[in-house]
Amino acid sequence: MLELDAWLTLFLDRNAFLNELDCARLLRLLDAEDDQLYDWLLGRRAAPAEWADLVARIRKIS
């Protein structure tokens, strides 16, 4: 999904030096289905607790 690619690219551009824990969490987050991730980033549905703060950080970028 191009929207997700743009959102995540911008996040990574602005957060190029993620710590090891955040990198691991981001990789697991990217395993989610695109439609779920899109809903979490738009705030349509709450992200699972494991990713809630990371999703919130990504949402701030937009």
Per-residue pLDDT, averaged over 18-32, amounts to: 92
Contact (CB, 8 A) for 52 and 46: yes
For residue 15, what pLDDT is reported? 82
For position 4, what pLDDT does the model report? 92
pLDDT in tens, 31-57: 999 999 999 999 999 999 999 999 999
Report, as an integer, the average pLDDT of 6-16.
Answer: 89
Domain count, the chain: 1
CA distances for 43 relative to 20, 23, 24, 54, angstroms: 26, 22, 22, 13
Domain of 21 in residue numbering reads as: 2-61
